[in-house]
Chain A
Amino acid sequence: MSLRGAAFIAGAYEHPRRDIPDRTVPQIHAEVAVGALADAGLSMADVDGFYCAGDAPGFGAVSMAEYLGLRCRTYDSTETGGSSYLVHVGHAAAMIKAGHASVALITLAGTPRNGGAQPGSSAAAPAPESEFENLFGVPIAANYALAAQRHMYEFGTTSAQLAEIKVAASLHAQHNPHAFLRDVVTVEEVLASPMVADPLHRMDCCVVTDGGGALVVVSPAVAASLPRRAVKVLGQGEAAKDTNRGRIDLTHTGAVWSGPRAFEEAGVTPADIDYASIYDSFTITVLMTLEDLGFCHKGEGGRFVMDGGLVAPFGRLPFNTDGGGLCNNHPANRGGMTKVIEAVRQLRGEAHPAVQVPDCQIALAHGTGGSLSTRMMSSTLILGQPDA
């Protein structure tokens, strides 16, 4: 069974704030839910499927559904970190195709700037591997740095090439009035920013922001009844990558498997992608993901991002035109939701005019949950125009 065309994203909403001391996390879930439903032209009463992840407080998806007053036919609290919301789109499309839902709501919210869960933290019981990692003082940035160091060793990737990714994001963020960081930066400024965990500088790291976002995924029949342009779900893939029975390879991500699954389902290739939202917890996340999705060969990501390769609207592959997690928003330390939202904006022609990709037909969004140098869940989502 293919999910191509099984569902449409009819509503998308990003919370406009980045520092929210005056709201609870459930309140933010409610605000973004209402926002996305309004964007779609629907209401809470229309929702018959609810999806949320580990950022949602309480008992699986039930507590937040109860808070929102939802009465659904299907609930799903699949938790894969920052990629959860792309996974949810795929799972919602499958349930819609199976006839178990027609309007699925996906929400995300958190307040790490105001006492909420911190980056890289987990409230769950100790994992079986935790004592063999946690004793050695490896913060989240150091975890990603281990992958960057090995990539540099094997392929000659440079810090200046990683910096190009942050520069491109900053060029886009200057046009986003809600972006947490709006200043354009240079490669030299990135390289001069303090080293956090060699070879990653502070400006190689994403922002820490409060906020949230939501999506509404609907059946083709519901999409056809709505006034706003909906974007078609063409394909979705997901893949876990772990320490490989103790023989971890740090030079690739789960995108080597999630990408081909999504491309095959969508019936397109990397060359068909007009715009890409690439998970950018750190610059190295972007570089390795671009290789793994097939936008360039393994080891050539450094050259791919140089010379404005990622800069909208005319770069080789315009990426993260909202400014991404590196500059705009990484709400609740989870960047997957905003990746999908900006891809929807591009396909609707509603990105900022300075960064809108002309005639954007097919867009890709990619999420990376977990950590690059231990275990992760990658999810790739391919979206297109209604007639794609």
Chain B
Amino acid sequence: MPDDPFLPTRPPRRTHETAEFWDGCAAGRLLLPRCDDCHAYIWYPRLFCPHCSSPRVTYTEVSGTGTVYSFTVVRKGAGAYREFSPYVAAYVELAEGPRVMTNIVGVPVDQVHVGQAVRVVFDPAGDADAIPRFTPS
């Protein structure tokens, strides 16, 4: 594992549609947009329901638990990630359904596997932000 346990972060670029998601991360809560009409959890975050075309969407706290759907050990990252290689990039299937791109942290890279149970952690990004990653639960 790299010496520094924290992978690179930077403050996310907020938009009118995504600010509430990032505010949730900063507060240590995973909020997903949920459709007021068809009740689907929406991923990636947006204020439009791709399931039923509704613009009525409410950010809702979810469990933050899931399983590894797929993963890869990146042996040579680019940019800020270069010096943190190797590290794990993954899709995590949330308990609520969506499959989200993320990193698996807090575990040696050779001990990650498909189907592994994981929970969300929030890595600080800048002074006031955080980004969601996952660690074995």
Known: A137-B87, A139-B78, A248-B91. A132 touches B70 (CB 8 A): no
Q: Mark A129-168, 1 if CB is under 8 A from B, else 0.
A: 1011101111100100111111001000000000000000
Q: Is A99 an interface residue (CB 8 A)?
A: no
Q: Is A20 an interface residue (CB 8 A)?
A: no
Q: Is B81 an interface residue (CB 8 A)?
A: yes
A residues less than 8 Å from B76 (CB atoms): 139, 196
We find that the number of chain A residues with CB closer than 8 angstroms to chain B is 34
Let me know if B75 and A194 touch, CB within 8 A.
yes
> Of B42, B71, B98, which contacts A149 at CB under 8 A?
B71
Q: Mark B24-49, 1 if CB is under 8 A from A, else 0.
A: 00000000000000001111111000
Q: Which residue of A lies closest to B133 (CB)?
A: A136
Interface residues on B, range: 35 or more
Let me know if B75 and A198 touch, CB within 8 A.
yes
B residues less than 8 Å from A139 (CB atoms): 74, 76-78
Q: Mark B1-13, 1 if CB is under 8 A from A, else 0.
A: 0000001111011
B91 to chain A, nearest CB (A): 6
Let me know if A131 and B13 touch, CB within 8 A.
yes
B37 to chain A, nearest CB (A): 15
Q: Which residue of B lies closest to A127 (CB)?
A: B44
Q: Is B114 an interface residue (CB 8 A)?
A: yes
Stretch from A54-62, A85-93, A239-247, A285-293 that touches the partner: A239-247
Known: A150-B70, A198-B73, A246-B44. A136 touches B99 (CB 8 A): no
Q: Is A181 an interface residue (CB 8 A)?
A: no
A129, A138, A150, A247, most chain B CB atoms within 10 A? A138
A residues less than 8 Å from B8 (CB atoms): 137
B75 to chain A, nearest CB (A): 5
Q: Mark B59-100, 1 if CB is under 8 A from A, else 0.
A: 000000000011111111111110010010111000001111
Q: Which residues of A are interface residues toward B (Cβ below 8 A)?
A: 126, 128-129, 131-133, 135-139, 142, 145-150, 153, 194-200, 243, 245-248, 250, 373-374
Q: What are 8 residue pairs bridging A and B, where the CB atoms are less than 8 Å apart in the complex? A: A135-B9, A142-B89, A153-B70, A194-B75, A198-B72, A243-B44, A245-B42, A248-B91
Q: Which residues of B are interface residues toward A (Cβ below 8 A)?
A: 7-10, 12-13, 15, 17-18, 40-46, 50-51, 69-81, 84, 87, 89-91, 97-103, 114-115, 131, 133
